[in-house]
Amino acid sequence: MAPTSHDLALRYLLELSSDIRLALLCARDGEVLASAPGGSRERIVELGAELVREADVSFPPGDGSALELDVGCEGGAVFLIRDGDMTMLCITERAVLPGLIFYDMHAVLRDLERAAHAEERRGATAL
């Protein structure tokens, strides 16, 4: 998929939930595909990618099952979903409804998966 699709998906996620301060999308190999909002957030993106890698070590993706993690701390909360070939991480305010954050994250991941399948079908019919 085009990198702009990933960026647009995360921007849409931030529109769905005003509580999300940062969203990060990673590939299965841990490569950061996109982060939102833009700007100089290199350190937090680096820490988010490290958390994604640690989740893969602690909860190996081998069986293909989805993974949901949420962690609260004094300054906010971190939500992580691994589903299929992508992992999404969001940092939010402390007082959020985890179910709503996970719902929005899953919705965006499903949209990305549908877009990837549609792109594959278009590529296959073009040959």
* pLDDT score at 127: 59
List, in order of start, the domains of the chain with CATH numbers: 3-126 (3.30.450.30)
Distance CA 84, CA 60 (A): 12
- Give me the phi and psi of 41, to 5 degrees please: -125, 35
Which residues share a beta bridge with 36? Answer: 23
Dihedral, CA of residue 48, residue 46, residue 66 and residue 36, to nearest 10 = 70
* Cβ-contact 96, 77 below 8 angstroms: yes
Distance CA 39, CA 10 (A): 14
Percent of the chain with pLDDT over 90: 34
For residue range 21-74, list pLDDT tens digits in order: 999 998 877 788 888 886 656 777 778 778 878 887 888 777 666 789 898 888
